[in-house]
Amino acid sequence: MPDFAIERRCEGIVCGVDEAGRGPLAGPVLAAAVIIDRRRFRGELRRVLDDSKALPRDHRESCYAALSGYARRGVVSIGVGAASVGEIDRINILRASLLAMRRAVAALSTTAPEGVAAAVPDLALVDGNIAPSLPCPVKTVVKGDALSFSIAAASVVAKVTRDRIMRGLARRYPGYGWETNVGYSTAEHFEGIRRLGVTPHHRRSFEPVRLALSGPADLFALLEAEAPALPGGTAESPELAAD
């Protein structure tokens, strides 16, 4: 379980940064930055929050609601950033993820509740091994969402926010299973692409989408090659692929 051990070894105000949605075929990539005032942070959340991929959906939603409550009281500061499908296709998914992280950290200065001073980080703990360009020093932490409480909190915020976006898009674009697969590669999603075609929210730089645009025969060949490994259409995203 994540804890504050890494944060305690750092000086000044520390924010955790993580992203969600690097792997899906559709939708934006989201990032969150979270600063936690450890002196005022109390309650059950300290014992139950974990890496978002390790939590069932209902637990993620509960953790997100708790973090939002702390944010309203000024105990937690949350910034969220995104990179669009167009940006993903133009600059690639890695650079888009780093761009979303930069936007999330920048958003920290604009999301403080009324009467609460905006928290500006002295250091960002970033999940992974590649540092985004930020206005503060960065420390990358491999598997940070399982080690750092701040990064784990950011992973939950990013994941829940992105999933809600995709479930909203599912109502506008039925037939792809986005209400459950949130854009990841599932049999239901592939079948939707085959039957209904590609939407404006699909990532055209990703191979399955590119093949679908080039012709049905190419997509059928990909489906046949990957069919044994594809999860079913009702699985939830944490089990479909790593972010």
What residues does each domain of the chain span? Answer: 5-168, 173-238
Reduced to 3 states (helix: H, G, I; strand: E, B; else coil), residue 31 is: strand
H/E element, 89: helix 85-91
Strand pairing partners for 31? 19, 81
Q: Which helix (H) or strand (E) holds 79?
A: strand 76-83
Cα gap 102→233, rounded to integer Å: 33
* DSSP code of residue 227: G
Please state the φ and ψ torsions of residue 233, each to the nearest 5 degrees.
Answer: -80, -5
Q: Give the SS3 label for residue 212.
A: helix
pLDDT in tens, the chain (243 residues): 999 999 999 999 999 999 999 999 999 999 999 999 999 998 889 899 999 999 999 999 999 999 999 999 999 999 999 999 999 999 999 999 999 999 999 999 876 555 555 678 999 999 999 999 999 999 999 999 999 999 999 999 999 999 999 999 999 999 999 999 999 999 999 999 999 999 999 999 999 999 888 876 555 565 565 655 554 443 344 334 446
CA 96 to mean position of chain CA atoms: 12
Rounded distance between C-alpha atoms, residue 92 and residue 203, angstroms: 10
Q: What pairing do the DSSP bridges indicate for beta strands 29-36 and 76-83?
A: antiparallel
Of 101, 94, 91, residue with least CA distance to 23: 94
How far, in Å, CA of 132 to CA of 100, rounded? 9
- Note the maximum CA span of the chain: 60
Tokens read off for 194? 């085959």
Question: 223: how many CB neighbours lie within 10 A of its CB?
Answer: 18
**Which tens digits make up the pLDDT trace of 133-167?**
999 999 999 999 999 999 999 999 999 999 999 99
- Fold topology of 5-168: Nucleotidyltransferase; domain 5 (3.30.420)
DSSP helix/strand/coil, 134: coil
Which is nearest to 147 in space by CA: 125, 173, 131? Answer: 125
Pull the structure tokens for residue 6.
């890494």
| pLDDT tens sequence across 40-54 | 998 889 899 999 999
